[in-house]
Structures are given as C-alpha cells and as structure tokens.
Structure 1
Amino acid sequence: MLQEFKTFAVKGNMIDLAVGVIIGAAFSKIVDSLVQDLIMPPIGLLLGGLDFSNYYIPLHNQAYGLPLAEVKKAGAVLAYGNFLTVLLNFIILAFIIFQMVRVVNRLRAEPKVAEAPTPPSEEIMLLRDIRDSLKR
C-alpha cells in the first residue's frame, strides 16, 4: 500500500495539481487585495464615503453606523457590502482564469499546416488548353 501511495503522490499530474493550488491561493490573495484596496474604495466613496464592506442591514435592532465586526457581535446582520465585495472578487478571478485558459488552449492547439494545393487533373488541364485555344 505504501508503494502505491508513493506512485500516486509522485505522479506528474498530482504535482502539477499541487503547484496549481498553491499558485491559485496566492493569486486569489492578489485579486482580493485588488478588489478590497483599489476597486471597492472608489465605489464606496461614490455610495456615501464609507468602507463598502461595512454596508449592512441590522437584524437585531443593532445601532447602524458601527463597524460590521462590532455589529456582528451583537447579533445577525445582512452584510450585503461584504457579499458584493466577495462577489466582485469571484467575477474578476473567474474572468482572469478564463483568459488564462483561453491562452493555454491557443498555445496547445496544433498549428494548422497549409495543405499543398493538389495539381489539377489531366481533364482540367485539357479543358484549359481548349479554352485558351478558343480565345485565340
């Protein structure tokens, strides 16, 4: 059983998957920072100047206007701003991954080799000769 596990663990696909997961986690952090630090602040400014992740609807008569973390301690809230931030993260990440897959698929596609034109048949050549003779 140990030998089977060793064979499974060192297969190329398993190692590729592990590398992909690690790079994906790091890339996810980059996209998360992009959304939270560069995209959402201007959107929050347009919508009232608050941190967009702090938009919520209190469900247990909590005071509105406090930071989301404090309000959550007092009870449940609908944190729609935080949800929209995570949703935007997902959309950006999915779009970037889609673009990466498109590029990889293009690189993997075998280049189309132009086929050499087939020489015309003898009948076609004969008909062309007759046509050219009639034109003269």
Structure 2
Amino acid sequence: MFKEFKAFIARGNVLDLAIAVIIGGAFGKIVTSLTDDVIMPVIGKIFGGLDFSSYFVVLGKVPPALAGSSDYAALKKAGVPLLGYGAFVTAAVNFLIVAFIIFLLVRAVNRLMPKAPETPAEPVEPADVTLLREIRDELKRR
C-alpha cells in the first residue's frame, strides 16, 4: 500500500495540483488585500463611507453591551444575526477580480502556446471499395 501511495504522490498531476493550491492560496491573499485595502475603500468613498464591510442590517436582538454599535465584526462575534451585504459585495468584487485575472492568464497562455497544425484525417474507405481493390490486385497478380 505504501508503494501505491508513493507512486500516486510521485505522479506529475498530483504535484502540479499541490503547487497550484499553494500558489492559489497566496494569490487569494494578494487579491483579498487588493480588494480590502485598495478597491473597496475607493468604492466606499464614492458611496459615502470608508469601510464597505460596515454595511449590514441587524436581524435580531443586540446585547446591551453592544447597543448602538456599528462594528460588524464585534456584532457577528457576539452572535447577533446580521445581513452583511457589504461583506458580500466585498467577496463578490474579490471573486470578479480573481476570475478576470484567471481569464487574462488563460488567454495569454493560449496565445503563447503554439497551435498544433491540423492534419486532415485520411478519409476512411468503405469496406466494399477495399474489397474490390483487393480483388483487382489479386487478379492482376494472376
């Protein structure tokens, strides 16, 4: 069983996948920082607030210690049911940035990769034509 596991891990696809997951995690942190620290403050400034994640609707009772609080993280940590549409918009923008960058990467790779020349497939001859050719060739030999 250990040999099978070793062969499985040594396959190129598994190693490629592991590397992709690690790089993807690091890339996700960069995109999250870009979204949270650069893009969303600009969007928040345009719409009248600096912290876009502070846009939420309280759906339940707020503990007396947090009454009047607008700290989304503190309310969420206290277990208050919230509709955090600001956090959702931030996550959606995050996704759009990642999807767009992946689109650009795939597009660039497709342009860099040489296209294999398409060789026309030889037409498959019907069986009766092949048989007739064999009969003709046999008659010529006699």
Q: Which moved more, 1:53-62 or 1:25-34?
A: 53-62
Alpha-carbon contact 2:42-2:50 (below 8 Å) kept: no
The answer for unaligned runs of 5 or more in structure 2 is 119-142
Task: Provide the rounded CA distance (Å) in 1 between the counterparts of 2:116 and 2:68.
Answer: 61
Deviations 1:49-100 (A, max 9, x none): 2410111001115455511012221510000000100110001001101111
The equivalent of 2:40 in structure 1 is 40
Match for 2:87: what amino acid? N
The equivalent of 1:94 in structure 2 is 99
Task: Provide the rounded CA distance (Å) in 1 between the counterparts of 2:85 and 2:23.
Answer: 29
Task: Provide the rounded CA distance (Å) in 2 between the counterparts of 1:65 and 1:42.
Answer: 24
The within-5 A match list for 1:83-122 is 83-110=88-115
The equivalent of 1:79 in structure 2 is 84
| Offset of residue 8 of structure 1 | 0.7
Alpha-carbon contact 2:9-2:15 (below 8 Å) kept: yes
1:68 aligns with 2:69: no
Alpha-carbon contact 1:58-1:64 (below 8 Å) kept: no
Question: Aligned residue pairs: how many?
Answer: 113
RMSD: 1.9
The answer for unaligned runs of 5 or more in structure 1 is 114-136
Task: Provide the rounded CA distance (Å) in 1 between the counterparts of 2:59 and 2:87.
Answer: 16
Match for 1:68: what amino acid? Y
Helix, strand or coil: the match of 1:48? Answer: coil
The equivalent of 1:133 in structure 2 is none
| Offset of residue 5 of structure 1 | 0.8
Match for 1:102: what amino acid? R
Q: TM-score, normalising length from structure 1?
A: 0.75
Match for 2:113: what amino acid? R
The within-5 A match list for 1:14-33 is 14-33=14-33
